[in-house]
Amino acid sequence: MTDYIAAGVMTDPGEFKGLFDGLPASPAGVAEVVQGLMVHEFWADEYGLALTDEQKQTVHLRKTSDLLAAIVAVDDRPLTEGREPAKRIATNCRGFSVMAVAMLRHAGVPARARCGFGAYFNGEKFEDHWVVEYQRDGQWQMLDAQLDKLQRDTLKIDFDTTAMPPGAFVIAGDGWRRCRAGTDDPDDYGLSPIQEGGWWWIAGNLMRDVAAVGNVEVLPWDVWGEMPKPDDEIDFAHFDAMAAGEVTVTVPDKVFNALRQRLEPLR
């Protein structure tokens, strides 16, 4: 059983560990640092950026050590010195979350990444998303390390994104149970910009979340094992058990990167 303080395979800064010394220990401070190092690929236009195909490749970096290598290759100043958008590396919500988890753990704060759905991006839709869960006074709190002031203002977010209220983010297992109970419509869960969603998407995120709780934070498009495809029959009993914590998830040494259409090593 993990204490969520020791670095995992994805959250280990490796040779760049020294860069974490002296960083803020608070969730808000960590989020500010992370936001000054990376930019979400889907928000690049809002920062006046036109990412090249080469720049977009950093979204496929899984390990914190690889993300840090890319960051310092562009700008080797201390991490506390926020980069202008053009000198930040491209990533996604999972990248922001994993980096923040790594920094919080280094500071001795128990933290883990969670995969699920954000309820604050698109009205009543639940959009594919990753956040950070950290412990405060023995209780788990949620932090969205991606949302800086520009994004909060654009989305008109009126709550504290460093200690989010219940319901703002729906963990994948909770979303599965809500849909199974008939409380929510599974077609409201997915990624609306590409018009994908439904049971298969929730099941995939459920597997990714269970893996993340087990300290293996895969990419949002990593596929393996019994993870269903859009037209597959869903083994509801199996995923019911997974959502109830009765089934574990084993992540192999190689997973299928669905965007690159190839097997890639995790370790």
- The model's pLDDT over 29-54, given as tens digits with 9 standing for 90+, comes to 999 999 999 999 999 999 999 999 99
Query: Residue 100: inside a domain, yes or no?
Result: yes
Residue 230 domain boundaries: 14-265
Q: What is the pLDDT of residue 2?
A: 80
Domains in the chain, number = 1
Query: Residue 4: inside a domain, yes or no?
Result: no
**Residue 87: pLDDT band with limits 50, 70, 90:** very high
DSSP, collapsed to helix, strand or coil, labels residue 267 as coil
Query: Residue 113: inside a domain, yes or no?
Result: yes
Terminal-residue alpha carbon distance, the chain = 20
Does the pLDDT of residue 1 top 80, yes or no? no
User: pLDDT digits over 164-200, tens only?
Assistant: 999 999 999 999 999 999 999 999 999 999 999 999 9
Query: Residue 80: inside a domain, yes or no?
Result: yes
Report the C-alpha dihedral over residues 98, 104, 107, 109, rounded to 10 degrees.
-130
How far from chain centre, in Å, is Cα 217? 8
CA proximity to 177, closest of 244, 249, 238, 248: 244
Q: What percentage of the chain exceeds 70 in pLDDT?
A: 100
Q: What is the pLDDT of residue 65?
A: 98
Q: What mean pLDDT value characterizes the chain? A: 97
**What residue has token string 């149970």?**
177
Query: Residue 2: inside a domain, yes or no?
Result: no
CA proximity to 10, closest of 102, 131, 93, 142: 102
**Rounded to whole angstroms, how far apart are CA atoms 130 and 93?**
5
CA proximity to 39, closest of 113, 96, 103: 96
**Rounded to whole angstroms, how far apart are CA atoms 34 and 132?**
12
Query: Residue 244: inside a domain, yes or no?
Result: yes
DSSP, collapsed to helix, strand or coil, labels residue 48 as coil
Average pLDDT for residues 98-121, to the nearest whole number? 98
Tokens of 239: 């995923």
Length in residues, the chain? 267
Report the C-alpha dihedral over residues 93, 94, 95, 100, rounded to 10 degrees.
90
Query: Residue 59: inside a domain, yes or no?
Result: yes
**Residue 124: pLDDT band with limits 50, 70, 90:** confident
Q: What is the pLDDT of residue 116?
A: 98
Entry pTM: 0.97
Query: Residue 6: inside a domain, yes or no?
Result: no
What DSSP designation does 47 have?
G
